Amino acid sequence: MGWESLLVTRILSDRYRLDGLLGAGGMGAVFRATDLHLEREVAVKVIALSAAMLTPSQEVLRRRFRREARIAASIRHENVISIYDFGIDPTLQMEFMVLELLEGEDLSQILARQAAPDPEWGLEILRQAAQGVAAGHRQGLIHRDLKPGNLFVLYDKERVRVRVLDFGIALPAHPNRTLTHLTRAGSTPHTPAHAAPEQLAGAADLTPACDVFSLGTIAFHLMMGRSMAPDGGQAGREETIQVAQAALRNAPLPYGLSSVIATCLAVQPSDRFPDASVLSDALLAACAPPSIKQTLDLADRKLDLWICPSPIDVAAEVEGTSVAECIARGDQIRDFLYDDSEDRCASQEPALCDAALGYYRAVIHRDPDAALAWIGVAEVEAYRATHVWDWEVAYTGNQRRSILNIALGAIRRALRLSPESARAWVGYGRLLRQWTDTGSWLTQLHPADPWVRQARAAVRYALFLDPACEEAQWEGLSLRDSPCRPPAFPRPAPASQDTLPTDCVPVPLHKVPGQG
């Protein structure tokens, strides 16, 4: 019988009754308890050190326990376990911390029972874990020991809920933080199988990117059904990472997700997402939530009908032109459309849109994997959906949604072909934002709207891929505007030309493959 069992039924500080032991290890134990003042169940963590008899090493442990309480109290987020109280029992002279009582099991127990859980469920676990770790990063704290055992999954019939545990070994990310470094350089606590290469090498100047790597190893296990490095050793770590990244590239994962996880697993910290907040955005951008996925699936089906080839011959203007030239001509017309400085009649724009689409579709007819052509289709259709009301054409809201469906399907096809294209991610974010105002141009952007969250995440991911991307910067401004009809995208006009290039003759629709 250990010392822990002797504390059961005791009341600490005349308030917390210890009802049963939940777990013990080292110099501490966690109890299920009752808060007699508020009449609620809580968890109480007790350190088995009496203030009256402390050796120097035990004093260090006690200081660490107090620091854990301060750290846990400083992070307030729904995906981080909450701390309610901290104190010293006057009779036993033992320090204790009162925590939120969690009902569920940690992720390591779930993975031991089911190596490859449902991908949608696993993705939700990753999203919430990243959001919880991001809350710590915003406080300037690095967790340093993220692993399945420190992600607790709560029992909830309605939805998945995750809590990040054990921020007690966290370290300040900045040297000017007031918390004391109680762990010596070269002896940072971590779990080797989930530790970043710089942790295994004993680096003292860790960054939030080490937590991103650990989340990447968890993501690999959830999506691939196996641990990335079963032995957890440092030897051959880079080779293990390369093998894991190759496996991700060949895995049947949603477009973008393989690239996100592979970025997390980069050997160099500078090649990863800088912190968990950026990773959270990337996960949200790569995989739409269920409330949006149904619409995106419909967009894919609409696109298949739109691009279905017909037996009609390709127009002479296109037939003798290379794929690169067709894309260039389509891009010139698209640039001309987006350039607000050009003087043209609105009545010309439908024909210009059809001409650009004719070139892009001719390319796709020859090479279905031409990502730039799919991006061009999405951008021109996005322009059409924005300006249909100015063309004096009797378009209905349903017809506008059909245009956006084709554009969404096209940009998703581009992202599958080129998941690291900042331009494609910007286009995706723009279309998601446009979808929020299909009912009315006066629709207000609400930050809790899943479409808005998804759009912002896509634009932030584009900025991560290309920080200098002006389109992403402008779209980010549009997503913060309200009402949500932003100014048209500023695109560069064709070089030193005031009008549409003469060689970009609109392709007759009845001569372009796939046009009805």
DSSP characters over 46-98? EE---TTS--HHHHHHHHHHHHHHHHHHH---TTB--EEEEEE-TTT--EEEE
In the structure, what pLDDT confidence band is assigned to residue 37 with cuts at 50, 70 and 90? Answer: very high
Choose one of 99, 134, 151: the last residue of a domain: 99
Which of 11-25, 88-102, 286-300, 432-446 is the least confident region?
Answer: 432-446
Q: In the predicted model, what is the mean pLDDT of residues 96-110? A: 90
**Do 487 and 458 reside in the same domain of the chain?**
yes
* Residue-by-residue DSSP string for 10-45: -EETTTEEEEEEEEEETTEEEEEEEETTTTEEEEEE
Close Cβ partners of 343 (under 8 Å, ≥ 6 residues apart) = none
What pLDDT was estimated at residue 183?
Answer: 37
Task: State the CATH number of the domain containing residue 94.
Answer: 3.30.200.20
Q: Is residue 516 part of a domain?
A: no
For residue 226, tell me if it sits in a domain: yes
* Mean pLDDT, residues 348-353 taken together: 83
SS (H, E, C) 356-410: HHHHHHHHHHHCCCCHHHHHHHHHHHHHHHHHHHHCCCCCCHHHHHHHHHHHHHH
- The answer to the question of residue 377 being in a domain is yes
The span from the CA of 313 to the CA of 73, in Å, is 69
Residue 71 has pLDDT above 50, yes or no: yes
| Secondary structure of residue 346 in the 3-state scheme | helix
In a domain, 333, yes or no: yes
Same domain? 59 vs 129: no
Per-residue confidence (pLDDT) for residue 174, from 0 to 100: 44
The better pLDDT of the pair 202, 186 is held by 202
SS3 string, 474-499, reads: HHHHHHHCCCCCCCCCCCCCCCCCCC
Mean pLDDT of 289-296: 69
User: Quick check: 333 and 383 in contact, CB under 8 A?
Assistant: no
Domain assignment of residue 92, given as a range? 3-99
Q: Show which of 238, 258, 286 is a domain's final residue.
A: 286
Same domain, 196 and 265: yes
Beta strand 95-99 with 83-88: parallel, antiparallel or unpaired?
antiparallel
* pLDDT higher at 255 or 323: 323
366 or 490, higher pLDDT: 366
Which amino acids are annotated catalytic? 145
Using CA atoms, how far apart are residues 229 and 241, in angstroms rounded to an integer? Answer: 8
Please tell me the least confidently modeled range out of 259-273, 280-294, 304-318, 402-416.
304-318
> Is residue 245 situated within a structural domain?
yes
Q: Give the total residue count for the chain.
A: 516
pLDDT digits (tens, 9 = 90+) for 158-194: 788 999 988 755 444 543 333 333 333 334 567 888 8
Over the stretch 413-450, which tens digit does the pLDDT of each residue have? 999 899 889 999 999 988 888 877 654 333 445 555 77
Say which residue, 59 or 202, is predicted with more confidence: 202
Same domain, 427 and 322: yes
- Domain check: are 384 and 279 in the same one? no
Q: Last residue of some domain: 71, 99, 127?
A: 99
Residue scoring higher pLDDT (298 or 344)? 298
Domain harbouring 317, CATH code: 1.25.40.10
What is the number of domains present in the chain? 3
Confidence class of residue 509 from pLDDT cuts 50, 70 and 90?
very low
Per-residue pLDDT band for 483 (boundaries 50, 70, 90) equals: very low
Residues 301 and 236 in one domain: no
Task: Please count the helices (runs of H) and the strands (runs of E) in the chain.
Answer: 18, 11
Q: Taking the mean position of all CA atoms in its chain, how far away is CA 170? A: 22
CA 143 – CA 18 distance, rounded (Å): 29
| Average pLDDT estimate for 193-198 | 89
* Half-sphere exposure of residue 230: CA atoms within 13 angstroms, side-chain side: 2
- Output the pLDDT for position 486: 33
**243 and 314 together in one domain:** no
- Mean pLDDT (the chain, rounded): 77
pLDDT computed for residue 300 by the predictor: 74
* pLDDT value, residue 496: 37
For 98-102, 261-265, 476-480, which range has the lowest pLDDT when averaged over its residues?
476-480
Q: Does residue 387 carry a pLDDT above 90?
A: no
Shared domain for 264 and 157, answered yes or no, is yes
Residue whose pair of structure tokens reads 């063309």 in the numeric block: 391
In this structure, the answer to whether residues 347 and 456 fall within a common structural domain is yes
Instruction: Give me 442's structure tokens.
Output: 């006066």
The domain spanning residue 183 has which CATH number? 1.10.510.10
Q: What is 84-123 written as a DSSP string?
A: EEEEE-TTT--EEEEEPPP-EEEHHHHHHH-SS--HHHHH
Residues 111 and 253 both lie in one domain: yes
- Both 380 and 280 in one domain: the answer is no
Q: Are residues 298 and 430 in the same domain?
A: yes
In a domain, 43, yes or no: yes
Structure tokens at 413: 């096809």
Please check whether residue 410 lies inside any domain of the structure.
yes
Residue 118: inside a domain = yes
> Over 90: is that where the pLDDT of 373 sits?
yes
Q: Would you give the DSSP letter of residue 207? A: -
Predicted confidence (pLDDT) per residue in 7-33, tens digit: 999 999 999 999 999 887 656 789 999
> If pLDDT is split at 50, 70 and 90, which confidence band does 361 have?
confident
Whole-prediction pTM value? Answer: 0.72
